[in-house]
Structure 1
Amino acid sequence: MNNHLLAINVEKAKKRLVKLQSQVIDLEVFIGEAETYNAESFEQKVIKEYAYLGSLFKVTAKLNKELLEMGEEGKLKMSDISSIIESQPIDELHKNVRKIYRTNKKNLH
């Protein structure tokens, strides 16, 4: 028997299953939003990249690299990226990314 089942009964198992099913649905919605997201503006590109990478450092590095490859100076700072993420959400993916960012930020401190 698995250890996570040792301190459980049928009622608790049912409640846990409902919670887990809800979390699976939330994750499927988030994945669908990210995969179908049409990033037309720079801000939307930041949102999409954070959804995929989950890191200010990685998003900043990737976008700076892309700017350099286009012949522009890649001078974005992580604070530029965080400002966009922290701004008033423009859509559902942005709303979810901002929530994820805030959770990640809180867990680092």
Structure 2
Amino acid sequence: MLKQKKEIIRLQEYVDTAEAYEPNSFESHCIMYYAILGNVNEVAKAVNQKGYKVGNRKVTSNDVSSVLKGNPKDKLHGIVKKIFTKNKKKNRHL
């Protein structure tokens, strides 16, 4: 039961951090949308709808992945990076 309680606390911290997050840049929007959507393709669509560009082109899933793999700039980025890395490893085994 202790393990489940720790997991609940960890998840609640994630939710609280995501709810309090205020994105103010391309990178922070990628982080926030990944926390909500959990899919780099969906994040790319969302930031494109916000009007973000990489150079003169639309944002791709590779651009989002690069942001997520970068050195964490804040607490949510650190959490999201761990989730992203775990998801990438899980998808390789499919």
User: Do both proteins adopt the same fold according to a TM-score greater than 0.5, normalized to the shorter chain?
Assistant: yes
In the alignment, structure 1 residue 87 sits paired with structure 2 residue 70: yes
In the alignment, structure 1 residue 59 sits paired with structure 2 residue 43: yes
- TM-score w.r.t. the length of structure 1 is 0.77
Q: Deviation at 1:67?
A: 1.6
- Which protein has the bigger strand share? 2
Q: Post-superposition, which runs of at least 4 consecutive aligned residues in structure 1 deviate over 3 A?
A: none
Q: What's the % identity of the aligned pairs?
A: 34
Structure 1 vs Structure 2 CA RMSD: 1.4
Which structure 2 residues correspond to residues 1-109 of structure 1 after superposition, within 5 A?
Answer: 17-67=1-51, 75-109=58-92
Which AA in structure 1 matches 2:9? I
Q: How many pairs are equivalent?
A: 89
Larger Rg: 1
- TM-score w.r.t. the length of structure 2 is 0.89
Question: Unmatched 5+ residue regions in structure 1?
Answer: 1-16
